[in-house]
Structure 1
Amino acid sequence: MSKYKIVKLDGGHAFSLEGRAMNVSNEPMDHVTFIDQYEIQTADLSDFNVLVVTDFIDQEHLYKHKEVIESFLNDGKIVVVNTHMFRPWIPGVGLFMPKEIRKHSDYVMEAAHNNTFYRGVDMQELTYRKGVSGFYARGSHPVVNKNAEIVLQFTDGTPIVFIDRDSTKGTVIAGACRDFFTYATGQNSTQLIAPQFLAFLDEELTRLQGVQA
């Protein structure tokens, strides 16, 4: 049985529809509970152990209520960030820096090591979509904690996705990239990301429970 109980902040933007995630086939995300982003300061989050924040979110509002996120983390839980940070509303994550490019191949990525939720993903398929380079990631969040685990990076070593287990009592998974959960369908290897990420969440929650015991 899955350990994760996921709540996702709904930004109310054009890429979501009635609790659906805009992935390739617009399939419902039945394993995710959605709450309006402006309810974060009043919602009861006690039943959840994973909080997901994605692009088009109101970061000024999150910054105003950042203590809610810090409290969630310090309860030994997980926060997933898939957006471009321009306010410091979460510990351990620097503000977004666009990638300086001179040619389209500067957006090519690589897994930092093999044992990640990008296992088996063809980086060319992740970098390019319908001939467009940089669709998945076009920048980075500077790593504040030197002990953070780099998961995905550009080929020049600039980090895109990292895991911070030290800045709080919980775990922050920060990615200056597209929503992990939307890569669940399709005709190429990128569909591996979502199921492998869910499996990773279960493993990480087991680790956090062990730390708290």
Structure 2
Amino acid sequence: MTAAATAPVQYVVMGGGGSSPMAPPAPYATVDLYDLFAAGEDLLLGGEVKGLMFSLNCDQVFLERQAPLLERFVRSGGRVLVNGHVVRPFLPGLAPWRAVDHHGPSDLRVTPVTPHPVWEGVDFHELLYRTGVPGTPTGEELTRVGVAGFYGRGHHARVPEGGTVVNGIGPYRLPLDIVYPLGDGQVMAHAGNDLHGFSDPDRTTRTLGPRLLAWLEGTL
């Protein structure tokens, strides 16, 4: 069996190989989107894979074609994280991405709406601003040198019945991060860049990656 076949969490990308920054080392495998589904039902429905996190660059037309199998995976107890801009909703409950009309950082501010363990202890100011400046700027310094909007510049057009808005964007707290049940499983949708990429080792966001993996595994 391949590493992808045995890891409980699969990070699904276009092209396969490589890894994404996450600390500490985590029990996940990077797998090519097409290879994942070429493995068929045995991999997704065999019980070893607990969670899938789809990178924002995944082929949504292809995912639409695989929707029945993916839906079965979730309904049977699997967990899925969908990153990025949904254009072709490939799971029940997903909705198209809508851009925020933004004219400054306040229009892109990330605000917690409903407590969720994945984001527990995270300073949302550190999600709003990103910087390539050496060191770890915080507070007013982070605001001065950082660039807003990498975490999200849009929102989900709607929230499905039974869904929860975890984090909102802008003054109206539009749904940026949502979670909803689907059968015995759950779907998390983040309308921005790949979520675990914000797990910075020297910031409060360092817990985001490990907690996300625990959620995908079903232990959080």
Once the two structures are TM-superposed, the CA of residue 35 in structure 1 deviates from its matched residue by 2.1
Q: CA separation in 2, counterparts of 1:184 and 1:104?
A: 21
1:87-98 equivalence runs, <5 A: 87-98=88-99
Q: CA separation in 2, counterparts of 1:111 and 1:83?
A: 19
For the 8 Å contact 2:128–2:150, the answer to whether it is kept is yes
Could you say which residue in structure 1 is the equivalent of 2:136? none
Partner amino acid, structure 2, of 1:11: M
For the 8 Å contact 1:19–1:28, the answer to whether it is kept is no
Q: CA separation in 2, counterparts of 1:109 and 1:19?
A: 29
Pair 186,28 (structure 1): closer, same or farther in 2 beyond 3 Å: closer
For the 8 Å contact 2:83–2:190, the answer to whether it is kept is yes
Moved more, 190-199 or 50-59: 190-199
What does the per-residue CA deviation read over 1:104-150, in whole Å, with 9 as the maximum and x for residues that have no partner? 32101111134432222122211011221101111111334232121
1:99-118 equivalence runs, <5 A: 99-118=100-119
Which aligned runs of 4 or more in structure 1 are off by greater than 6 angstroms? none
Could you say which residue in structure 1 is the equivalent of 2:12? 9
1:19-168 equivalence runs, <5 A: 19-21=18-20, 23=21, 30-43=26-39, 44-45=43-44, 46=46, 47-130=48-131, 131-154=146-169, 155-165=171-181, 167-168=182-183
For the 8 Å contact 2:54–2:81, the answer to whether it is kept is yes
Q: CA separation in 1, counterparts of 2:219 and 2:205?
A: 26
Percent identity between the aligned chains?
27
For the 8 Å contact 2:97–2:157, the answer to whether it is kept is yes
Q: CA separation in 1, counterparts of 2:114 and 2:159?
A: 20
**Higher normalized helix content (fraction of residues):** 2
Q: Which consecutive unaligned segments of at least 5 residues does structure 1 have?
A: 208-213
What does the per-residue CA deviation read over 1:90-115, in whole Å, with 9 as the maximum and x for residues that have no partner? 11010111111122321011111344
Q: CA separation in 1, counterparts of 2:52 and 2:126?
A: 28
Once the two structures are TM-superposed, the CA of residue 34 in structure 1 deviates from its matched residue by 2.4
For the 8 Å contact 2:51–2:78, the answer to whether it is kept is yes
Moved more, 176-185 or 71-80: 176-185
TM-score by length of 2: 0.78
RMSD of aligned alpha carbons = 2.4
Q: CA separation in 2, counterparts of 1:27 and 1:112?
A: 26
Q: Which consecutive unaligned segments of at least 5 residues does structure 2 have?
A: 1-6, 132-145
- Count, aligned residues: 194
For the 8 Å contact 1:183–1:190, the answer to whether it is kept is yes
TM-score by length of 1: 0.81
Q: Does 1:182 align with 2:197?
A: yes
Structure 2 counterpart SS, 1:192 = helix
For the 8 Å contact 2:9–2:213, the answer to whether it is kept is no
Could you say which residue in structure 1 is the equivalent of 2:139? none
